[in-house]
Structure 1
Amino acid sequence: MRLITAMTLTLLVAGCVNGTQTSGDALCDGSREARTDHAAALADSADDRAVVTGARLIALIDAGCD
């Protein structure tokens, strides 16, 4: 019974693990245009909260992609 329980838990955990790691460069390159478009949209927005939170988000992503 312990073996079955151990195997079941092992298989459940193994199914949740992603073996492929994403390159940070690929993530940054792939999101560059979307970040630029989002920044442009925020510049046109009348909602101050969206501008502030969006600008902070873009700054954090840009800092991680430098």
Structure 2
Amino acid sequence: MVSGLSGIGKNHPPVDEKGFLEFLKNLESMKLYDALKEAISDSAIYGIPDTGKQKISL
């Protein structure tokens, strides 16, 4: 399973496993947390901060 989360402002998912799961617990629905809480990660958790502030020149 591959999952992706995003946030707004300073409310974004942490990139450490414990913080990531805690972030999932605080979502409106517990469905994603329930699906991932027992999962075994086969890669690191990555984050891309401030993607909304990128300026694209054409």
Whichever of the two has the greater Rg, that structure is 1
Larger fraction in helix: 1
State the TM bucket, normalised to the shorter chain: 0.3 to 0.5
